[in-house]
């Protein structure tokens, strides 16, 4: 791990900011004094700024793309299809992405991912400028943009252990997420204002400039990387390489529970924002399309505050229980949102639902990154990309429910499904044992995991 002061840093405090005198008092009674310690590292600051700028482009696209589809086609199903098209590459490319991230310099992977964003937004900018844009083109270019996601997020997270001390890794993971969620506020507000006073051409033109700027920032990162080559003297097959992460998860056992709980959230909660919120705002409440952007910004406030709270925790004693709790809160938020009669209540529900989605990502990725072998960090993190890929299932489900039942009943159905999954998890002995007894992740064999959970029935 590269934690040397040679990078221009003060080297980090390996005790996580706690000396012999014990834990330091929390600021404002809440924040751990070491919450923002990762910002002492120059390269973390550059990475955070790059994520911040790239996220401005991401949230401009997140707001504009579904509204553009609604205006071009008027189809709720295609609204789900465009989100599915964006997430499909994440699912399909995840195993290969892990190999590439573990084998090649992370900076090169990040630049390549950002090039996909530049191409996608640039082509759509030209099509809109020439008034040639059609629905199928938006969906096709969403696939190109989605290719970036499959590489970008695992690569930038895999860099963190090389940038900060191990004692600051949890805070770095959560704070790197705030780079994305905080700009969600500004990017979504910017999109709302542009939709109010300008048009889609401006949005995709600005996105192209922001993506290009992010690529330049990646080149400024100086952290020395330690790529891991294949096992010496072993001619490993492509199949063995692409399935290494899955084998590690199966042998360790507990990552399967992390993946399963995360998948439930991404199928039933994640698509609400890109599919249901535009329909609720524009069709159900009859509000201007700019409100879609404003509500996404409200969600950004919830996500950012949640990320800062996680970063400030001295430790997360039971991340498993926290993840199930997030599912319950998300299910309640969707259920209330399905009956919301005005924008104020919609905004409150979006605040909590978005906080749940983003902080599930932080907690699950931290669990995988902190305990994966050093030569498999990329492949461990791309396991979450496989889970993120299930969003395409949720997107198609949400679009179908909106077409057949309407946006409100569709939201209610998804909220009930979340709550039912949480109830099922809590009623399953092995899962219940995992939630309450597995306070930390440790090297427990598959046989021991099953035996201990059986004993706890």
The pLDDT score that the predictor gives to residue 3 is 38
What are the tokens at 147? 């290719």
With CA atoms as reference, report the closest residue to 49 among 164, 173, 217, 254: 217
Q: How far apart are CA 399 and CA 202, in angstroms?
A: 27
Checking if the pLDDT of 356 tops 90, the result is no
With CA atoms as reference, report the closest residue to 174 among 273, 314, 293: 314
Instruction: Name the pLDDT band for 457 (thresholds 50, 70, 90).
Output: very low
Checking if the pLDDT of 135 tops 50, the result is yes
Q: Which of 116-125, 367-376, 425-434 has the highest mean pLDDT?
A: 116-125
What are the tokens at 277? 């919120």
Checking if the pLDDT of 236 tops 70, the result is no
Sign (positive/negative) of CA torsion 400, 405, 407, 413? negative
Q: Which of 128-142, 318-332, 379-393 has the lowest mean pLDDT?
A: 379-393
Whole-number percent of the chain with pLDDT over 90: 6
Q: Is the pTM of this model over 0.85?
A: no
Checking if the pLDDT of 383 tops 90, the result is no
Q: Which of 26-40, 254-268, 306-320 has the highest mean pLDDT?
A: 254-268
Q: What is the mean pLDDT of the chain?
A: 75
Checking if the pLDDT of 299 tops 60, the result is yes
**Rounded mean pLDDT, 394-401:** 82
Size of the chain in residues: 457
Q: How far apart are CA 87 and CA 145, in angstroms?
A: 9
Q: pLDDT tens for residues 183-232? A: 767 777 787 788 788 788 888 999 999 999 999 999 888 876 655 554 44
The pLDDT score that the predictor gives to residue 435 is 56
Q: Which domains occur in the chain, in start order? A: 34-225+243-455 (1.20.1250.20)
Which residues touch 440 (CB under 8 Å, ≥6 apart)?
Answer: none
**Rounded mean pLDDT, 327-340:** 89
What are the tokens at 287? 């509000």
Instruction: Name the pLDDT band for 433 (thresholds 50, 70, 90).
Output: low
Query: Residue 447 CA to chain centroid, in angstroms?
Result: 32
**Rounded mean pLDDT, 94-122:** 84
The pLDDT score that the predictor gives to residue 1 is 39
Residue bearing the bigger pLDDT, 67 or 227:
67
The pLDDT score that the predictor gives to residue 217 is 92
| The Cα angle at residue 278 between residues 277 and 283, in degrees rounded to 5 | 110
Type and span of the H or E element at 391: helix 391-405
Checking if the pLDDT of 439 tops 60, the result is no
**Rounded mean pLDDT, 134-152:** 86
Checking if the pLDDT of 444 tops 70, the result is no
Residue with tokens 């201007």: 288
What are the tokens at 252? 């360790």
The pLDDT score that the predictor gives to residue 232 is 46
The pLDDT score that the predictor gives to residue 315 is 64
Q: How far apart are CA 213 and CA 117, in angstroms?
A: 12
Whole-number percent of the chain with pLDDT over 70: 73
User: CA distances (Å), 145 to each of 28, 184, 280, in order?
Assistant: 41, 17, 26
Q: Which of 76-85, 95-104, 139-148, 185-194 has the highest mean pLDDT?
A: 139-148
What are the tokens at 457? 């029935």
**Rounded mean pLDDT, 157-162:** 80
Report the DSSP beta bridge partners of residue 27.
31
Query: Residue 79 CA to chain centroid, in angstroms?
Result: 20
Instruction: Measure the N-to-C terminal CA separation of the chain; round to a whole number of Å.
Output: 41
**Rounded mean pLDDT, 392-405:** 82
**Rounded mean pLDDT, 30-58:** 81
């Amino acid at each position: 791990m590269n934690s040397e002061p040679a990078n221009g840093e003060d080297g980090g405090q390996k005790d996580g900011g706690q000396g012999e005198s014990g834990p330091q008092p929390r600021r404002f009674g809440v924040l751990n004094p070491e919450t923002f310690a990762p910002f002492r590292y120059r390269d973390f600051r550059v990475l955070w700024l790059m994520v911040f700028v790239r996220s401005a482009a991401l949230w401009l696209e997140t707001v504009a793309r579904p509204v553009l589809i609604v205006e071009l086609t008027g189809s709720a199903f295609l609204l789900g299809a465009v989100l599915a098209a964006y997430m499909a590459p994440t699912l399909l490319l995840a195993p290969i992405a892990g190999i590439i991230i573990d084998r090649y310099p992370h900076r090169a992977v990040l630049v390549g991912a950002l090039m996909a964003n530049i191409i996608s937004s640039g082509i759509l900018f030209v099509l809109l400028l020439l008034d040639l844009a059609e629905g199928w083109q938006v969906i096709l270019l969403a696939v190109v943009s989605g290719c970036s996601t499959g590489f970008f997020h695992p690569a930038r997270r895999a860099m963190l252990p090389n940038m900060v001390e191990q004692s600051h890794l949890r805070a770095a993971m959560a704070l790197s997420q705030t780079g994305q969620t905080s700009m969600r506020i500004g990017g979504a507000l910017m999109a709302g204002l542009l939709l109010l006073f300008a048009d889609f051409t401006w949005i995709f033109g600005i996105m192209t400039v922001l993506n290009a700027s992010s690529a330049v920032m990646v080149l400024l990162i100086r952290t020395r990387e330690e790529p891991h080559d294949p096992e010496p003297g072993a001619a490993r097959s492509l199949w063995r390489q692409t399935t290494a992460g899955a084998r590690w998860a199966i042998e360790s056992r507990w990552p399967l529970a992390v993946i399963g709980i995360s998948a439930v959230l991404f199928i039933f909660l994640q698509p609400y924002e890109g599919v249901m919120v535009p329909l609720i705002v524009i069709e159900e409440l009859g509000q201007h399309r700019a409100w879609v952007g404003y509500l996404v910004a409200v969600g950004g406030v919830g996500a950012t505050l949640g990320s800062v709270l996680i970063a400030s925790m001295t430790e997360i004693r039971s991340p498993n229980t926290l993840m199930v709790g997030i599912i319950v809160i998300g299910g309640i938020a969707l259920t209330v949102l399905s009956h919301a009669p005005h924008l104020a209540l919609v905004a409150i529900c979006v605040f909590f639902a978005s906080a749940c989605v983003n902080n599930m990502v932080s907690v699950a990725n931290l669990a995988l990154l902190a305990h994966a072998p050093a030569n498999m960090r990329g492949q461990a993190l791309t396991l979450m990309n496989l889970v993120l890929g299930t969003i395409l299932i949720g997107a198609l489900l949400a679009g179908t429910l909106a077409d057949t039942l309407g946006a409100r009943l569709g939201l209610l159905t998804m909220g009930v499904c979340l709550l039912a999954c949480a109830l099922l998890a809590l009623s399953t002995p092995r899962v219940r044992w995992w939630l309450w007894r597995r306070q930390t992740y440790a090297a427990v064999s598959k046989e021991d995991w099953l035996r201990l959970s059986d004993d706890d029935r």
